[in-house]
Amino acid sequence: MKKYIIGISAYYHESSITLLSENKLLDYIKEEEVTRVKGDYKFPFQTLKLIINKYKIKNSQIEAIVFYEKPFLGWSAITYNALSSPIKKWKMVLNQFQKFWTGSLSFSSDLLKIIKIPKKKIFYCPHHISHALNGIYFTSNQKKNFLIFVIDGIGDGETMSIFKKINNEIITEKKCVYPHSIGLFYSTFTQFLGFNVNEGESKVMGLASYGTPIFKDFILNKIISIKNDEILIDETWFSFTSEPERSYSEKFENKFGKPGKLIDYSDFKSDEFARLANIAASVQSATEELIKILIAIFVKKTSIKNIIFSGGVGLNSRVMQIVSEMNEIEELTVPASPGDAGSSLGAAIYGNMVLSNFKFPEFELYPGKFYNENIQSNIFKRLFKKIELNNGIEDAVADLIQKGNIIATFINQREFGPRALGSRSLICAGNQNKVVEKLNIEIKKREKFRPLAPMIRDENFDKYFSCANNSKHNLLWMGMTVDVKEEMINKYPKAVHIDHTSRVQIINKYNDLFYSLLLKLEQKDVDILINTSFNIAGDPMVFDFVDCYTNMKRMDIQYLLADNGLYKINSI
């Protein structure tokens, strides 16, 4: 009888579930994909039911269910800080006590509504250990010794943890605690610039390249700094410790001006765009400097040069590029999903380790296996018509792409993490500038300052990009940006950011369908595909074939690439 371990992340960022069995990563699903509520952070009732039904899991088969943090620690840290000034911070005090019965403290009771298992099978993994184990999973060699940086907003009351992985032991080297947080510092600027916290940080990173970091020195001197290897913020610039809805203080607004709005980014040439871009450039550059300082300090202190970087700050792919280029390090790994959603994997690995003595599951980048029967179902056949192929699926798709078509993909095994890696993607030829622009602005409805990502075969990478080989494995899941070469700028300008970087995905024979497709396209002088997630900006990524059909109709996309063929959408 098969045994299962379930890891769960919930209540703060995107909720997710990871399923392990017999030392294999079987599945990974975010609650937002099922409920269609972007950033759904609630307990993943729908996803848990789906997983149980999909794999026909009986309660007796569950060895452990592991939550990604220790709930009381996080709640108590914020509450204690609020109670230190209860009159000034009364809104936060009230908010914390209102959340007492609806947040992560209710995990056990929420879980038992779905699965009746003994409480001894319910484990709680320390938050930053969940991040750390998620990071180790994606390294090129898990047996190496690593220096692990976990930097995020807050988890279990902690904002930064630095660990040493020595053989089969994880040793705490350093911890910083709330409210001194690089993640919350960056998110404050995210909110000030008019973007949603926990979602818009990547937009700040993209916007930063259009500005000049005129406030960098001021930020590092007055707002946040590293003192004796500690992160220190001046709380007077922030209000996230006193107000649940607003992160920046009146003092902050007096210094940086009025908060940004989405409409401010429509005109690249306006003074307002330039003002906000300069602020974004300043916070981005300051963050890069802070991370570099921390890494240099602890590499020198520990003499360990193989770095793992996890936690929400790891989603900043430009920071990760800066880290990869540091002379102090030999190798960098950033996991495919370094934020909280990916921590359900870390939690599941924790359960696996407790039961099997530090044993990591086999590596799998595409664990989200969907229902095979859906492709053959009557409903699917009503929605899509299979195109008969005479010369193979790759030839037919390559011809359509060369003719300027945008192709949606619906591959059985879904990618791990927030970035589309081909399974739920929209793809087109990288050298057809008008098509790329249409995909980005008209179809995806993304901001003009955010470029799309290139996809390339590993063998062609050096022709267009440069990257340290010891960090190149991160590009399998778009873990960091890289510098582009002149030939990339000339041939594929729409996949190049204004700072001459790209967040590229390399394809090797592990991804055989796209590897073969790129080989066909190279015969047509197209060696780079544009790859973006299969969704309209602001929506969750497409999950099932009904989502697929609905989004294709909204986007006016005609062709769908699936595992067993090429389809065209029907009119119904």
pLDDT bin (cut points 50, 70, 90) of residue 78 is: low
User: Residues 125-143: what's their mean pLDDT?
Assistant: 94
* DSSP strand pairing (158-166 vs 169-177): antiparallel
pLDDT in tens, 172-210: 999 999 999 999 999 999 999 999 998 899 999 999 999
Residue 121 CB partners (closer than 8 Å, separation 6+): 62, 63, 64, 65
pLDDT-based confidence at residue 360 (cuts at 50, 70, 90): confident
Q: State whether 421 and 357 are in the same domain.
A: no
Domain match, 286 and 430 both: no
Question: Which has the minimum average pLDDT: 296-300, 419-423, 511-515?
Answer: 511-515
In a domain, 45, yes or no: yes
Q: What is the pLDDT averaged over residues 381-386?
A: 85
Task: Give the pLDDT band (50/70/90) at residue 82.
Answer: low
Helix, strand, coil shares, percent, the chain, to 5:
45, 20, 35
Report how far apart, in Å, the C-alpha atoms of 427 and of each of 97, 209, 450, 455, 528 are.
Answer: 47, 25, 16, 9, 10
Q: Given pLDDT bands bounded at 50, 70 and 90, which one contains residue 122?
A: very high
* pTM listed for this prediction: 0.94
Of 317, 334, 351, which closes a domain? Answer: 334
Is residue 133 predicted with pLDDT exceeding 90?
A: yes
Write a three-state SS string for 483-536: EECHHHHHHCHHHCCCCCEECCEEECCCCHHHHHHHHHHHCCCCCCEEEEECCC
Q: What pLDDT was estimated at residue 489? A: 96
pLDDT band at residue 138, thresholds of 50, 70 and 90?
very high
132 within 8 A of 161, measured Cβ to Cβ: yes
Q: What are phi and psi of 372, to 5 degrees?
A: -60, -35
Q: Which of 48-62, 71-85, 468-482 comes out lowest in average pLDDT? A: 71-85
- For 39, list phi and psi in degrees, rounded to 5: 70, 25
Residues 517-524 have a mean pLDDT of 96
Residue pair 345/30 in contact (Cβ under 8 Å)? The answer is no
The span from the CA of 476 to the CA of 511, in Å, is: 10
Give CA separation, 468 vs 236, 474, 492, in Å: 40, 11, 22
User: Which pLDDT tens digit goes with each residue over 200-238?
Assistant: 999 999 999 999 999 999 999 999 999 999 999 999 999
Q: How many domains does the chain have?
A: 3
Rounded distance between C-alpha atoms, residue 559 and residue 551, angstroms? 12
| 138 occurs within a structural domain | no
243 lies in the same domain as 294: yes
Q: How many helices (H) and strands (E) does the chain have?
A: 21, 25
Q: Are residues 265 and 347 in the same domain?
A: no
Residue 223 has, within 13 A of its CA and on its CB side, a CA count of 27
In a domain, 226, yes or no: yes
The model's pLDDT over 25-41, given as tens digits with 9 standing for 90+, comes to: 999 999 999 999 999 99
For position 89, what pLDDT does the model report?
Answer: 65
Whether 532 is in a domain gets the answer yes
* Predicted local confidence at residue 45, as pLDDT: 96
pLDDT of residue 497: 95
Residues 231 and 374 in one domain: no
86, 199, 248, 321 from 243: Cα distances, Å: 12, 20, 9, 34
Do residue 78 and residue 177 come from a single domain?
A: no
Answer with the residue of higher pLDDT: 360 or 80. Answer: 360
Percent of the chain scoring above 70 in pLDDT: 92
Query: Which of 313, 334, 355 marks a domain boundary?
Result: 334
Residue 396 has which token pair? 């037919």
Using an 8 Å Cβ cutoff, are 31 and 40 in contact? yes
Clarify whether residues 349 and 275 are in a common domain.
no
Q: How many CB atoms lie within 10 A of CB 289?
A: 18
pLDDT band, very low/low/confident/very high, at 96 (cuts 50, 70, 90): low
Asked if residue 388 and residue 288 are part of one domain, the reply reads: no
Residue 148 lies in a domain: no
Where does the pLDDT of residue 12 fall: very low under 50, low under 70, confident under 90, or very high at 90 and above?
Answer: confident
Distance of CA 371 to the CA centre of its chain: 24
User: In this structure, are 345 and 374 located in the same domain?
Assistant: no
Q: Are residues 360 and 373 in the same domain?
A: no
Q: How far is CA 140 from CA 144, 200, 316, 328, 455, in A?
A: 9, 30, 21, 19, 21
The set of long-range contacts for 228-234, using a CB threshold of 8 Å and a minimum separation of 24, is 229/174, 229/294, 229/297, 229/298, 229/301, 230/176, 230/180, 231/159, 231/160, 231/176, 231/180, 231/181, 231/182, 231/290, 231/294, 232/180, 233/179, 233/180, 233/181, 233/184, 233/185
CATH of the domain at 227: 3.30.420.40
Confidence at residue 88, expressed as pLDDT on a 0 to 100 scale: 66
Average pLDDT, the chain: 91
Q: Are residues 104 and 165 in the same domain?
A: no
150 part of a folded domain: no
Which range (74-83, 135-144, 262-271, 455-464) has the least confidence?
74-83
476 Cβ partners below 8 Å, 6+ apart?
365, 421, 505, 506, 508, 510
From 110-119, 146-155, 210-219, 481-490, the region with the lowest mean pLDDT: 110-119
pLDDT in tens, 301-332: 999 999 999 999 999 999 999 999 999 999 99
Residue 371: pLDDT band with limits 50, 70, 90: low
Establish how many alpha carbons lie within 13 A of residue 14's alpha carbon, considering only the half-sphere containing its beta carbon.
31
What is the Cα–Cα distance from 336 to 493, expressed in whole angstroms?
Answer: 26
Residue 496 within any structural domain of the chain: yes
pLDDT at 464: 98
* Nearest-5° Cα angle at 60, 58 to 61: 70
Which pLDDT value is given to residue 377? 67
Whole-number pLDDT of residue 509 = 84
Same domain, residue pair 423 and 540: yes
Instruction: Kindly state the average pLDDT of the residues 232-258.
Output: 92
Residue 484 maps to which CATH number? 3.90.870.20
Average pLDDT over residues 445-473: 92
Which pLDDT score, from 0 to 100, does residue 75 have?
A: 58
Position 349 pLDDT exceeds 60: yes
Q: Give CA–CA dist 41/30, Å, rounded.
A: 9
In terms of residue numbers, what domain contains 50? 4-133+341-364
Does pLDDT of 490 surpass 80? yes
CB distance 481 to 490 below 8 Å: no
Q: What is the pLDDT of residue 366?
A: 93
Local structure of 341: helix, strand or coil:
helix
In a domain, 149, yes or no: no
- The per-residue pLDDT for 87 is 61
